[in-house]
Chains A and B, each alone.
Chain A
């Protein structure tokens, strides 16, 4: 789906749905050998690479998010697909795991994350108990499964986020490998790492769910995978790169677009806004054309959707046939059509004032921002602001997880409400009628993070502000990252708007935060050791000399040394030998 946004941005989202053949979902017991648990299985289009990983960790659902960038909700509006397919900065994993107890669920979870780590080239292997949470608010979102677990087993929801993980092309390649087309045909052929990641914001999602048929055998299920890539592309920059290369050289003098109503001569130019009369096509933005349909012969395998304001945009579908290219006008504001031929497709866009006139932008239903406050090395604060800009009351769950080295004081929590005219503050959350419920699981050092879930019902046009304070812990030596680092990334907070059935219908995340902990200068201990040793040896040497040394004359020394050490020994031996010699000498004459 392609949708031009204000300021010459372009929202491009690629969605793929793949389902496996019905397979029998069995509880994988790690003690039984593999061959006994699985017979030959056929997944058809479903990736053979990922299915065993999911099966062997007893994951019934798996959700992966790779996101980078800051979502400009003022300009771009609500998140695409209600935010349900976009994560926070970095990587996010959520899995529903079947197990007989928490310990077993954890074991499977770490197994899963380690396998995925290799698969997606992401540091998912750094998922450990200290960052794993068990979100409560998600409990209502997994009932759609129809899966009946083995007697005695339960489903556990586990979640972890790695906000400092950079997302790049190496994550896209395994993503494309999951597709049956391998990114070679259909809309996936547009996905080129260099183009997708040169965007203003992008998000990749992989959702695997088990969909079971509840009328028949409960364990005959489809593994269903939804993959999506969403990116906001800066059209002007893409075009400039295409034309001039990556370096933002100054515009040539005669190409300057100056405001004619202001002074304007060869030496002076008040610049106009970005050009609005643009002509471009998908091929220039993504570097290639769409290579036909996903599966040759299957005319319903690829759909292309467009959302434009057709009063101001002229869109054409370009078919590159062997006989030459054909251009077909696309009529309508929001249309989707099948790519039903085995030829290369392209879409051209032309607008006279498209910077302003685009298909309607959906207003974000809720706004969330969070910032660190304070500056000191030993403590700080967190300040969160949630605004309901809509005209109706909004029920949502605020989910936040904080690492154990942020020692949180919930007692310091101050909640206040603000609307356009007034504001009032209450101390603590108990006094508020808008905060319905609170779930708080305090952190345990090095074992688990703090987890906060607030059920909030926010009246229209109201802003909820809350802040609390925390102390910063000092880490053990080997817990500091080995390399240069900005600080410790704190997971983005998540807001999930829920409907009457408590199901999530819209998700939005705050940006991640960077917390700087008191970090020792690691070269310092080394310096200190060297300095102290030097000083000690110098001081000890001279002091010891001062204390024990005695000044004596040479004669005294020689006299003293006669009876000590080697000299003493030698002289003793000598004297003995001498004695004998003397004896023999004295004896000899007697013989005469």
Chain B
């Protein structure tokens, strides 16, 4: 035990333990900085990697796509007919498009209002499929722009695909009216649908509005629900094909000059927009559509044509789809190579999970250290644990039970139109604040050791939540860590009944955060409504994780704070 013993002896001699204990809050703060810093550092050269095609079978851009020349006339021919459908009723539109598909020899069918058509691969074994989804309207436009170009392209592609005998997977075309309809269709496909075409390997959602014959670049959405991402190979395949077609690819809303720029600034911007979008997927009213395929082992992306001036032309958009399908068609296995957990810095750069995970781990450590700090700062806290533990467990259980109740009831109330989703966060903010301030002093009976102990428990709860979440849904884990951050620096005794105390708790209130995002960060995004309903409608876990995971901790700390006696019993 020679050296280890020597070190321990030295630690004792220098009295490092109490020093470290005193430094715990400082260390927590340092970890916050380290965490954010490590994320920011990802954009520095050498920290990120260049994308590459991992699955050899994909071979993107290796074949000549013949969706060109006279196919252009056909796209234009269909587009004029499609444009006549804009003012028609959904069912009329569907009937016309169904007629075209029937004439091409496709098997067509409906699920609710969603039209879909299947191309059974010639000589295929009918066990696997690829999906081309064409929503009737563009998702990222303010006035529900008619998805005219994409429908025309889809019908022309259907005609073009039919001529080829190389397909080994079936091709399904779907025409949903919105993201919800698409989600319902995907679910029905795997449960009750009558006309099916085998398991879906990949799906592409296309949006090409009234851009006309030309577009400038493509925008790719890839975020799925619950932190799920499509296999990186699929995105790489597309960007590779686009590169060979001479089309710029935009991710996370980069535009203009940024398309060709690759600087630290653009990378970090893309990274953080990507994280934000991952948190908000499923909550936004207007979504890319590809998240509808989440959870069914389907790799899905959305491709959107941007701009009207060129240089790319409409058949090139078709060639992107054609070549991507040809690549997926080559696959002998399901997508399994490459990465499922990654953050994009640009279409050509990414960081994989091993590189970015430490920042969330550091965040979890912030709460673990703060929890430890609350527990051992005052020796009395530890001494009194045996007296307080049963009360603490009861309180903890109550808080969790209450959160479950709120988590269950609020979405029900919103879905049955009893409450408007927009006012829920406002109520949540004001109600809890008022309750805290108006807490009669008679009830403020918690002793300091008990309060410190409770604080420690709830901070530890947050730490565990982040740890549990960080691999599955890194963005949400980081997001919860960030909104909970004020709680880590709150002292139940020192900050008791002070403005600082109330402010920190108010800031960490999940309802405050939802209100801020809903009102100011993503205005008109319908975030509050999305958050409250997405679990029921889309199986998006953001609401349960927030209200069953984080909310009990916040509630516990908020109430410990307002129930703690203002006067120190010693005095």
Is there contact, CB below 8 Å, between B128 and A253? no
Is there contact, CB below 8 Å, between B73 and A268? yes
Complex: A418 Cα to B421 Cα, angstroms: 40
Is there contact, CB below 8 Å, between A511 and B1? no
Partner of B2, one of A199, A369, A551: A551
Tell me the smallest distance from the CB of A401 to a CB of chain B, in Å. 17
Contact bitstring A233-260, B, C-beta under 8 A = 1, else 0: 0100100100000011111110010110
Nearest B residue to A547 by beta-carbon distance?
B1
8 A–B contacts from the bound complex (CB under 8 Å): A253-B73, A268-B73, A268-B77, A270-B78, A373-B190, A486-B128, A513-B198, A546-B4
Interface stretch of the complex, out of A64-72, A138-146, A565-573 = A64-72
In B337-369, the 8 Å CB interface with A consists of: none
Q: With an 8 A cutoff between CB atoms, is B74 at the interface?
A: yes
Known: A75-B105, A163-B125, A372-B199. A269 touches B73 (CB 8 A): yes
Q: With an 8 A cutoff between CB atoms, is B374 at the interface?
A: no
Is there contact, CB below 8 Å, between B127 and A514? yes
Q: With an 8 A cutoff between CB atoms, is A472 at the interface?
A: no
Q: With an 8 A cutoff between CB atoms, is B469 at the interface?
A: no
In B55-112, the 8 Å CB interface with A consists of: 57, 66-74, 76-78, 80-81, 103, 105, 107
B121 — which chain A residues lie within 8 A by C-beta?
70
Which residues of A line the B interface, CB within 8 A? 7, 68-70, 72, 74-75, 89-90, 163-164, 197-202, 234, 237, 240, 247-253, 256, 258-259, 262-264, 266-271, 273, 369, 371-375, 383, 385, 483-487, 489, 511-514, 516, 521, 545-551
B71 — which chain A residues lie within 8 A by C-beta?
250
Complex: A253 Cα to B68 Cα, angstroms: 11
Starting from the known contacts A240-B163, A250-B68, A258-B73, 13 additional A-B residue pairs (CB-CB under 8 Å) come to A69-B123, A237-B165, A250-B67, A269-B77, A371-B193, A374-B191, A486-B333, A487-B334, A512-B127, A516-B334, A546-B4, A547-B4, A551-B3
B4 — which chain A residues lie within 8 A by C-beta?
546-547
Contact bitstring B111-147, A, C-beta under 8 A = 1, else 0: 0000000001111111110000000000000000000
Partner of A269, one of B70, B123, B336: B70
Tell me the smallest distance from the CB of A495 to a CB of chain B, in Å. 17
In B178-195, the 8 Å CB interface with A consists of: 190-195
Question: Between A and B, how many residue pairs show CB distances below 8 Å?
Answer: 150
Is there contact, CB below 8 Å, between B124 and A485? no
Interface centre among B78, B105, B159, B192 (most CB of A within 10 A): B105
Is there contact, CB below 8 Å, between B66 and A89? no
Partner of B77, one of A7, A252, A270: A270
Which residues of B line the A interface, CB within 8 A? 1-4, 57, 66-74, 76-78, 80-81, 103, 105, 107, 120-128, 159-160, 163-165, 190-196, 198-199, 295-297, 332-334, 336
Nearest A residue to B191 by beta-carbon distance?
A373
Is there contact, CB below 8 Å, between B199 and A516? yes
Is there contact, CB below 8 Å, between A486 and B127? yes
Tell me the smallest distance from the CB of B124 to a CB of chain A, in Å. 6
Is there contact, CB below 8 Å, between B73 and A198? no
Partner of B80, one of A70, A263, A546, A550: A263
B81 — which chain A residues lie within 8 A by C-beta?
262, 270
Is there contact, CB below 8 Å, between B126 and A89? yes
Known: A75-B105, A248-B164. A514 touches B128 (CB 8 A): yes
A256 — which chain B residues lie within 8 A by C-beta?
70, 73-74
B199 — which chain A residues lie within 8 A by C-beta?
372, 487, 514, 516
Nearest A residue to B4 by beta-carbon distance?
A546
A74 — which chain B residues lie within 8 A by C-beta?
107
Known: A250-B68, A374-B190. A269 touches B163 (CB 8 A): no
Is there contact, CB below 8 Å, between B165 and A268? no
Known: A268-B76, A485-B332, A514-B128. A375 touches B297 (CB 8 A): yes
Is there contact, CB below 8 Å, between A262 and B122? no
Nearest A residue to B127 by beta-carbon distance?
A514
Is there contact, CB below 8 Å, between A199 and B123? yes
A489 — which chain B residues lie within 8 A by C-beta?
125, 127
Is there contact, CB below 8 Å, between A252 and B3? no
Is there contact, CB below 8 Å, between A68 and B125? yes
A259 — which chain B residues lie within 8 A by C-beta?
77
Is there contact, CB below 8 Å, between B127 and A511? yes
Nearest A residue to B73 by beta-carbon distance?
A269
Nearest B residue to A259 by beta-carbon distance?
B77
Is there contact, CB below 8 Å, between A271 and B165? no
Complex: A329 Cα to B3 Cα, angstroms: 106
Tell me the smallest distance from the CB of A164 to a CB of chain B, in Å. 8
Nearest B residue to A272 by beta-carbon distance?
B103
Complex: A258 Cα to B73 Cα, angstroms: 10
B123 — which chain A residues lie within 8 A by C-beta?
68-69, 197, 199-202
Interface centre among A234, A375, A548 (most CB of B within 10 A): A375
Is there contact, CB below 8 Å, between A89 and B125? yes
Tell me the smallest distance from the CB of A578 to a CB of chain B, in Å. 37
Nearest A residue to B296 by beta-carbon distance?
A375
Is there contact, CB below 8 Å, between B334 and A486? yes
Complex: A312 Cα to B501 Cα, angstroms: 90
Complex: A414 Cα to B445 Cα, angstroms: 59
Partner of A273, one of B103, B192, B295, B297: B103
Partner of B105, one of A7, A248, A268, A487: A7
Tell me the smallest distance from the CB of B72 to a CB of chain A, in Å. 8
Known: A268-B77, A375-B296, A546-B3. A513 touches B127 (CB 8 A): yes
Complex: A514 Cα to B71 Cα, angstroms: 35
Is there contact, CB below 8 Å, between A250 and B125? no
A511 — which chain B residues lie within 8 A by C-beta?
125-127, 198
Is there contact, CB below 8 Å, between B196 and A371? yes
Tell me the smallest distance from the CB of B322 to a CB of chain A, in Å. 11
CB-based closest 10 A-B pairs? A270-B77, A514-B127, A269-B73, A511-B126, A484-B332, A250-B69, A70-B120, A268-B76, A69-B123, A70-B126
Nearest B residue to A380 by beta-carbon distance?
B190
Complex: A271 Cα to B517 Cα, angstroms: 49
Is there contact, CB below 8 Å, between B77 and A69? no
Known: A270-B81, A373-B191. A250 touches B122 (CB 8 A): no
Nearest A residue to B168 by beta-carbon distance?
A486
Is there contact, CB below 8 Å, between B105 and A548? no
Tell me the smallest distance from the CB of B73 to a CB of chain A, in Å. 4
Partner of A251, one of B1, B70, B120, B332: B70
Nearest B residue to A253 by beta-carbon distance?
B70
Complex: A551 Cα to B198 Cα, angstroms: 70
Tell me the smallest distance from the CB of B232 to a CB of chain A, in Å. 16
A513 — which chain B residues lie within 8 A by C-beta?
127, 198
Is there contact, CB below 8 Å, between B74 and A385? no
Tell me the smallest distance from the CB of B145 to a CB of chain A, in Å. 22
Tell me the smallest distance from the CB of A546 to a CB of chain B, in Å. 5
Partner of A375, one of B73, B103, B295: B295
A266 — which chain B residues lie within 8 A by C-beta?
73
Complex: A493 Cα to B66 Cα, angstroms: 39
A7 — which chain B residues lie within 8 A by C-beta?
105
B191 — which chain A residues lie within 8 A by C-beta?
373-374, 383
B72 — which chain A residues lie within 8 A by C-beta?
267
B159 — which chain A residues lie within 8 A by C-beta?
271
